[in-house]
Amino acid sequence: MSYKKEFIEFMVRAGVLTFGDFTTKSGRKTPYFVNTGNYKTGYQAAKLGEFYASCIRENIKGNIDALFGPAYKGIPLSVAAAIALSNKYDQDVNYCFNRKEAKDHGEGGSMVGYKLKDGDKVLIIEDVITAGTAIRECLPVLKAAADVEIAGLIISVDRMERGTQNKTAIQEIYDEFGITAYPIVTVREIIDTLHNVPVDGKVVIDDAMRARMEAYLEEYCVK
């Protein structure tokens, strides 16, 4: 089983990938939703880190100085990915993350973990991008910490939706900042993997759900 197929089934079992009626942060009515906040066990965190590590190893060439996890959901993701890279691939990578509000006592500042240095290659670890807002918010934080090079962006699912204009959020991030995003899976891979295929005896994307998802892709996604 490929790590992509395994990851899709893992999300379903964890209650992270769900199907029904939802509203995204951007206000769109969607028949499916990805909520990484539903991961809650040590086993899930360990497995999740392995999926991110597999995606990193497949797509990122050369050394990485640090994994950065934007607060809040990116924090456990970056830590889990760093642990998996060390345990599974013997690749020891620093990690860091930001606070929503700068600390004015102790060591102070808004960053926690590895202290970024000029010239460091940093890989951003996120969950899902819809409009790219979180990335636009975290880039100034990174640049304020040091003159770093952004090596890429790893996300769990590419919803393939338009951002603020007629390109996907991932395309906009690349055009605006020159940052390439690498999803573990895309929504198209989710549909192709789960359509009429049971997970633990239950089909989550039957013909009716596929039709709803295809209609959503037709309205909001970039082909």
Distances, alpha carbon 77 to alpha carbons 97, 111, 117, 218, in Å: 10, 16, 22, 31
Strand spans (E) along the chain: 17-23, 29-34, 66-69, 94-103, 109-113, 121-125, 128-129, 149-158, 181-186
Distances, alpha carbon 85 to alpha carbons 5, 76, 79, 115, 125, in Å: 20, 14, 10, 19, 13
| Catalytic residue (one of 61, 100, 105, 223) | 105
Closest CA to 96 of 60, 127, 65, 119: 65
d(CA 122, CA 139): 11
Instruction: Please check whether residue 67 is in contact with residue 153, taking contact to mean a CB–CB distance below 8 angstroms.
Output: no
Closest CA to 129 of 89, 91, 176: 176
Q: Which residues are bridge partners to 86 per DSSP?
A: none
d(CA 126, CA 179): 13
**Helix, strand and coil percent figures for the chain, each rounded to 5:** 40, 30, 30
| Catalytic residue (one of 25, 29, 40, 103) | 103
Whether residue 103 lies in the annotated active site: yes
Q: Which amino acids are annotated catalytic?
A: 103, 105
